[in-house]
């Protein structure tokens, strides 16, 4: 039986002329890495590379077995080919083909300045290796693996231009938790020990491409927690500001790969490749060039609460758990990342509690990250599942020596058994806990600090947009109700359609965009936010939900008189139901006349109305029109469409289109003309009404 050395003693590195396993003649050293040395060897006339794992220990042995498994699993023409594996004098080794080429580094001549249109041939040549790398990553990701260690030394450009991927020692199936990787290139979720998937590799690819274009890493030479803090709080300088030869569209595509939240990056390697190719071709992008920046605003009070919790835990006290409550898109995940950054800066250990169907599953998937960089998994139990309180007792015992420690539960959902129990548990001194939830947890508030995440204000959005963003911030606040996710989604759509353009350090806005916002010309709502809005609407009584549905049918706002006219409730029950909804925050008083009411979120109407029968919507909208004939054009237009009175709606649209055209907004006018024409062409009743009108 072959014995593998498992001690930290130094290992002899064979000299040129020596043989390994009687087959491979050593010619010299090709390079060194964190786990060993790569030798140039020859088997007969065949040149090969032999990776000798000279650094001993459990982790290096695990890396040897992981890389051997990955090379066998991920066979691809662009992945280095392994030909053999073995043990020499107790030291494991891998034998691979020897490649001729250079690492993927920025060593190109200065690029010609970009003057508009498609990218220059010189720029295309610089970006081409990254496009080929993304093709390789797509194959790896399709097989369910993530590379985890993309860096210049692990990507080789062969003499014929082919891209070859090296060093799969950290490659692992999706879902792995680990902080291992190369500083400067690994994603924030990798640096904080979260689950990894394709977006982690795409972040690394973005860092590589940023370096190829500018000669610098996105966040410079920062390391450790300072680097992580910058990644979480400040977007890197756009590449086109550092290299005049980079088009702004390509700059935005690179920044899209470097977004903090993995959910905000492209989710597939081929999507990232298409994004870069569109930018090189000068085509409009869906990425939203110049989107909201990486600054973190509007949450100073929440960050202060996190800081106070860390202060108490750092003093060895038992701080009250802090729970941040808000609908989807309010920035809960970003707030968690900020808290992690603060904790790392103060030398805390971190324990992330993933979601799971059972307490045992949650416990065994926890990842404990210590300041020294070690990543540990709490002990697993093989017996029948114990109760949550027993698991918590075991967990707290393991956390005592890790203090000060921060426990993080990213989503305190209904299926989280261990999370709510931990909120009520007596944690060891020096251990704090933060959690997020879409609704207030049904737990006693005495021992908790609940923080409700409100909307971003116009001032917050203006700070995000930067200089010259005041008017655009007002429009975004109106269009998104201050929801950060929806604000970003809306801005991307406006940029894609040309209604908003980046001009130097400011913004150029189409003249009629304000009217479009007033008319409710919204982009499709992200499903994550839609699910949250549906969930919130369910939190009231059946009578309250019926009234919410009626407001949704009216376009999201209306008077009490309009609600009575719909017949959704008995007229004498409307006032009481409205007061209950106002008290719960599900209905608010709209700006303007005090009697005007609107739903809790600007986009709630389009979500709730999907569950209503079209005939019900038409009936309620028609009744509201009759109840209040003196309505502003914008609101009357909305009700006419819901009532199915297309011809009347088209007349208003044509009138508004003429007004926009007179103001010089041809794009906005064209949209209204097309809306009116499309409605008339597709509605037989409208055509009949139009014919009757012509006869009159």
pLDDT of the residue at 686: 42
Q: Is the pLDDT of residue 374 over 60?
A: no
Q: Are 663 and 511 in contact (CB under 8 A)?
A: yes
Q: How far is CA 98 from CA 47, 78, 80, 101, 528, in A?
A: 6, 13, 9, 10, 48
How far is it, in rounded angstroms, from Cα 592 to Cα 624?
18
Number of C-beta neighbours around residue 165 at 10 A: 21
Q: Are 465 and 308 in contact (CB under 8 A)?
A: no
Classify 325 as helix, strand or coil: strand
Q: What single DSSP character describes residue 425? A: S
* Whole-number Å distance between alpha carbons of 206 and 319: 39
User: Which has the closest alpha carbon to 406: 332, 473, 311?
Assistant: 311
Q: What pLDDT is recorded for position 287? A: 36
Q: Cα separation of 122 and 136, whole Å? A: 23
Residue percentage of the chain with pLDDT more than 70: 72
Using the CB atoms, write b or e for 357-371: b if 16+ within 10 Å.
eebbebbbbbbbbbe
Q: What counts of helices (H) and strands (E) characterise the chain?
A: 27, 23
Q: Which letter does DSSP use for residue 40 in this model? A: E
Exposure of 612 by Cβ count < 10 A (0-12 exposed, 13-18 middle, 19+ buried)? middle
- pTM, rounded to two decimals: 0.54
Q: What is the pLDDT of residues 626-677, one digit of tens each?
A: 887 777 777 777 788 788 787 777 777 777 777 777 777 666 666 666 666 6
Average pLDDT of span 523-546: 79
Distance between CA atoms of residues 608 and 587, nearest Å: 14
- Beta partners for 42? 25, 47
Kindly state the DSSP code that residue 195 receives in the 8-state scheme: B
Q: What residue spans of 400-449 are helical by DSSP H?
A: 418-424
Name the burial class of residue 162, with classes exposed (0-12), middle (13-18) and buried (19+) by CB atoms within 10 angstroms of its CB: middle
Whole-number percent of the chain with pLDDT over 90:
7
pLDDT at residue 208 above 90? yes
What gap in Å lies between CA 190 and CA 192, rounded to an integer?
5
Where b means 16+ CB within 10 Å and e means fewer, 177-204 reads bbbbbbebbbbbbbbbbbbbbbbbbbbb
CATH level 3 topology of 19-98:
Phosphorylase Kinase; domain 1 (3.30.200)
Picking from 85, 77, 211, 234, the residue whose alpha carbon sits closest to that of residue 151 is 211
CA distances from 472 to 329, 467, 506, 690 (A): 20, 11, 10, 38
Residue 214 has pLDDT above 70, yes or no: yes
Element (H, E) at 604: helix 604-608
Angle, CA 279 vertex, CA 475 and CA 492 arms, to 5°: 15
- The beta strand positions in 473-563, using DSSP E, are 500-503, 506-509, 557-559
Please state the rounded mean pLDDT for residues 217-244: 75
426 in Cβ contact with 399 (< 8 Å): no
Q: What's the rounded Cα separation, in Å, for the pair 76 and 451?
A: 50
Q: Which of 130, 10, 491 is nearest to 293 (CA)?
A: 491
> Is the distance from CB of 619 to CB of 642 less than 8 angstroms?
no
Rounded mean pLDDT of 511-535? 67
User: What would the two tokens of residue 271 be?
Assistant: 């999507």
Please tell me the CATH superfamily of domain 308-380+389-452, with its number: P-loop containing nucleotide triphosphate hydrolases (3.40.50.300)
* Strand 322-325 versus strand 449-452 pairing type: parallel
Mean pLDDT throughout 63-78? 73
* pLDDT tens for each residue of 272-299: 998 898 888 876 444 333 345 445 667 8
Find tokens 């719960």 and name the residue. Answer: 584
Residue 417 pLDDT > 70: no
pLDDT at 415 over 50: no
pLDDT of residue 309: 93
Segments making up each domain of the chain, as ranges: 19-98, 103-281, 308-380+389-452, 645-696
Q: Which residues pair with 226 in a beta bridge?
A: none
Whether residue 683 is predicted with pLDDT greater than 70 in this model: the reply is no
CATH superfamily of 103-281: Transferase(Phosphotransferase) domain 1 (1.10.510.10)
**Is the pLDDT at 6 greater than 70, yes or no?**
no
């Amino acid at each position: 039986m072959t014995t593998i050395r498992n001690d930290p003693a130094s290992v002899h590195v064979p000299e040129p002329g020596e043989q390994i396993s009687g087959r491979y003649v050593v010619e010299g050293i090709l390079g060194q890495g964190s786990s060993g040395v790569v030798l140039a060897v020859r088997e007969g006339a065949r040149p090969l590379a032999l990776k000798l794992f000279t650094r001993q220990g459990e982790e290096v042995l695990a890396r040897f077995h992981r890389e051997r498994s990955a090379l066998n699993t991920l066979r691809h023409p662009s992945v280095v080919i392994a030909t053999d594996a073995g043990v020499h004098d107790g030291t494991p080794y891998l034998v691979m083909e020897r490649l001729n080429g250079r690492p993927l580094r920025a060593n190109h001549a200065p690029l010609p300045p970009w003057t508009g249109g498609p990218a220059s041939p010189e720029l295309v040549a610089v970006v081409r290796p990254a496009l080929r790398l993304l093709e390789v990553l797509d194959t790896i990701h399709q097989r369910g693996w993530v590379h985890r260690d993309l860096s210049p030394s692990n990507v080789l450009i062969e003499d014929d231009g082919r891209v070859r991927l090296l060093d799969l020692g950290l490659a692992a199936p999706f879902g792995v938790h680990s902080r291992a990787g190369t500083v400067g290139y690994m994603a924030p979720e990798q640096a904080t020990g979260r689950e990894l998937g394709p977006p982690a590799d795409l972040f690394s690819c973005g860092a590589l491409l940023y370096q190829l274009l500018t000669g610098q890493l996105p966040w410079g030479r920062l390391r450790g927690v300072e680097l992580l803090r910058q990644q979480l709080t400040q977007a890197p300088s756009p590449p086109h500001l550092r290299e005049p030869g980079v088009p702004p569209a390509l700059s935005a595509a690179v920044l899209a790969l470097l977004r903090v939240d993995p959910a905000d990056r492209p989710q597939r390697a081929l999507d990232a490749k298409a994004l870069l190719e569109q930018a090189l071709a000068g085509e409009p992008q869906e990425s939203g060039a110049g989107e909201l920046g990486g600054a973190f605003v509007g949450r100073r009070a929440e960050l202060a609460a996190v800081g106070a919790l860390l202060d108490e835990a750092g003093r060895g006290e038992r701080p009250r758990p802090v729970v941040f409550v808000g609908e989807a898109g309010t920035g809960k995940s970003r707030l968690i990342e900020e808290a992690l950054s603060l904790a790392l800066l103060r030398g805390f250990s971190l324990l992330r509690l993933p979601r799971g169907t059972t307490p045992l599953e949650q416990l065994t998937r926890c990842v404990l990250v210590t300041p020294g960089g070690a990543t540990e998994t709490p002990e697993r139990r093989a017996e029948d599942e114990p109760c949550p309180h027993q698991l918590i007792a075991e967990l707290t015992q393991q956390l005592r020596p890790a203090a000060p420690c921060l426990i993080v539960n990213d989503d305190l959902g209904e299926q989280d058994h261990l999370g709510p129990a931990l909120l009520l548990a007596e944690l060891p001194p020096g251990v704090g806990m933060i959690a997020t939830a879409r609704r207030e947890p049904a737990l006693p508030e005495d021992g908790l600090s609940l923080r409700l995440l409100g909307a971003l204000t116009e001032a917050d959005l203006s700070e995000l947009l930067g200089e010259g963003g005041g008017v655009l911030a007002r429009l975004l606040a109106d269009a998104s109700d201050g929801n950060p996710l929806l604000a970003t989604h809306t801005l991307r759509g406006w940029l894609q359609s040309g209604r908003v353009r980046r001009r130097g350090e400011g913004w150029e806005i189409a003249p009629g965009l304000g009217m479009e916002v007033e008319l409710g010309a919204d982009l499709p709502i992200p499903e994550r936010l839609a699910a949250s809005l549906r969930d919130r609407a369910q939190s009231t009584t059946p009578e309250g939900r019926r009234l919410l549905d009626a407001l949704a049918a009216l376009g999201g706002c209306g008077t009490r008189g309009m609600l009575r006219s719909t017949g959704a409730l008995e007229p004498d029950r409307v006032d009481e139901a409205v007061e209950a909804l106002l008290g719960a925050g599900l209905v608010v008083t709209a700006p303007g006349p005090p009697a005007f009411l609107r739903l809790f979120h600007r986009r709630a109407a389009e979500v709730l109305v999907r569950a209503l029968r079209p005939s019900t919507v038409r009936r309620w909208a028609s009744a509201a029109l009759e109840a209040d004939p003196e309505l502003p054009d914008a609101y009357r237009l909305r009700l006419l469409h819901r009532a199915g009175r297309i011809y009347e709606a088209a007349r208003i649209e044509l009138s508004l289109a003429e007004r926009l055209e007179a103001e010089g907004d041809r794009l906005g006018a064209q949209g209204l003309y097309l809306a009116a024409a499309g409605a008339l062409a597709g509605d037989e009743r409208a055509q009949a009404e139009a014919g009757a009108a012509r006869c009159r």
